């Protein structure tokens, strides 16, 4: 049977709440190990743990990911075809999150908010071939031999290290699969400031990935173009024509907010009128900052400690 190494990076002294969900996995305990990698460079932490792993498959989770009980069974089944190199599922917002956190989840899972990447945050459709746009590192599995053969994640990147690696693997002819049913629950950022930092970081990571690996989808840079337009708008000649893109954007914000309000209630959904622009502007600013900073360098120092969680594994491999 397929064996797994579940790899979880955590900050020094951090709490791995994901362990509570892993205790109820419906998979033979002797067929998976749990490796917690403690440090300050998540890409390096994951790479080092992968080199120590013994499983056929590497299953990457975040320290607060909560997978479904049959996640490993679903994952193993999805890898049954020999050309499949990667399998992942979405990260869903828990029902117990605060109203604000649920709104963050709503914009992330919206076509207008996140475009093709919205399926990282919602469970829709069936098991399918996909690209990096639908896959997210807090719920992502690789064949160990292929991961190590590709030299793992580029440690110069965080975030977006998985996107760069997934593009390389797909370019080599291997299949990437998205299984909407192989979901984890993971709380959204608790405050608006934290959400803004998250969106800024995603933009910066996409820019740095582009500087290292070349451009991907042009649509990914729409927030950058929007931010540049807003910065230039006061300097442009006074003419209603220059305001048309802003008017079109406002119409889209209102339209998608109305759709959300009809689906989940007017009162809280109206806050999306502000959250959509905040999300796009922060992401665009991150892209601008990432490009301005130039190619990222290898991170300096940083000790990584990998430990195997006792109580789950049995020495029978």
Q: What's the token pair of residue 312?
A: 């789950």
Q: In what order do the strands lie in the sheet with 32-38?
A: 128-129, 175-178, 84-88, 139-143, 57-61, 4-10, 32-38, 305-308
Domain 4-96+119-187, classified CATH 3.40.50.2300, yes or no = no
- Report the SS3 class of residue 142: strand
For 172-225, write each residue's pLDDT tens digit.
999 999 999 999 999 999 999 999 999 999 999 999 999 999 988 888 999 999
Residue 274, pLDDT > 80, answer yes
- Residue pair 34/123 in contact (Cβ under 8 Å)? The answer is no
Which of 205, 194, 199, 200 has its CA nearest to residue 132?
A: 205
Residues 6+ apart with CB under 8 A from 131: 166, 170, 176
Give percent of the chain with pLDDT exceeding 90.
Answer: 89
- What's the average model confidence in pLDDT over 39-56? 97
State the pLDDT at residue 247. Answer: 96
- Parse the chain into domains and list their residue ranges: 4-96+119-187, 192-292
For 25-46, write each residue's pLDDT tens digit.
999 999 999 999 999 999 999 9
State the pLDDT at residue 267. Answer: 64
How many Å apart are CA 314 and CA 28, to the nearest integer?
Answer: 10
Least confident range from 3-7, 58-62, 127-131, 212-216: namely: 212-216
For 69-99, write each residue's pLDDT tens digit.
999 999 999 999 999 999 999 999 999 999 9
| pTM, 2 dp | 0.95
């Amino acid at each position: 049977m397929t064996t797994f190494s579940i790899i979880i990076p955590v900050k020094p002294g951090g709490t791995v709440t994901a362990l509570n969900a892993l205790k109820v996995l419906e998979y033979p305990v002797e067929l998976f190990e749990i490796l917690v990698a403690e440090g300050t460079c998540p890409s390096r932490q994951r790479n080092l743990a992968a080199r120590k792993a013994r499983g056929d498959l590497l299953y990457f989770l975040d320290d607060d990911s909560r997978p479904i009980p049959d996640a490993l069974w679903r994952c193993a089944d999805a890898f049954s075809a020999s050309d499949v190199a990667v399998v992942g599922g979405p990260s869903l917002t828990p029902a117990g999150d605060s109203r604000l956190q649920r709104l963050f989840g709503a914009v992330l899972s919206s076509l207008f908010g996140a475009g093709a990447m919205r399926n990282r945050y919602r469970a829709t459709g069936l098991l399918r071939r996909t690209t990096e746009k639908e896959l997210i590192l807090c719920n992502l599995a690789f064949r160990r031999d292929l991961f190590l053969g590709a030299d793992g994640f580029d440690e110069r990147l965080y975030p977006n290290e998985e996107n760069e690696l997934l593009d390389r693997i797909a370019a080599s002819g291997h299949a990437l699969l998205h299984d909407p049913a192989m979901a984890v629950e993971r709380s959204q950022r608790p405050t608006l400031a934290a959400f803004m930092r998250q969106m800024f970081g995603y933009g910066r990571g996409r820019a740095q990935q582009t500087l290292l690996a070349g451009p991907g989808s042009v649509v990914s840079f729409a927030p950058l173009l929007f931010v540049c337009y807003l910065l230039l708008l006061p300097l442009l000649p006074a003419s209603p024509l220059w305001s048309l893109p802003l008017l079109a954007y406002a119409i889209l914000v209102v339209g998608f907010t109305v759709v959300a309000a009809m689906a989940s209630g007017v009162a809280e959904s109206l806050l999306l009128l502000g959250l959509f622009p905040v999300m796009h502007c922060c992401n665009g600013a991150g892209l601008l900052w990432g490009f301005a900073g130039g190619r990222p360098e290898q991170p300096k120092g940083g000790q990584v400690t990998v430990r195997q969680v006792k109580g789950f594994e049995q020495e029978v491999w």
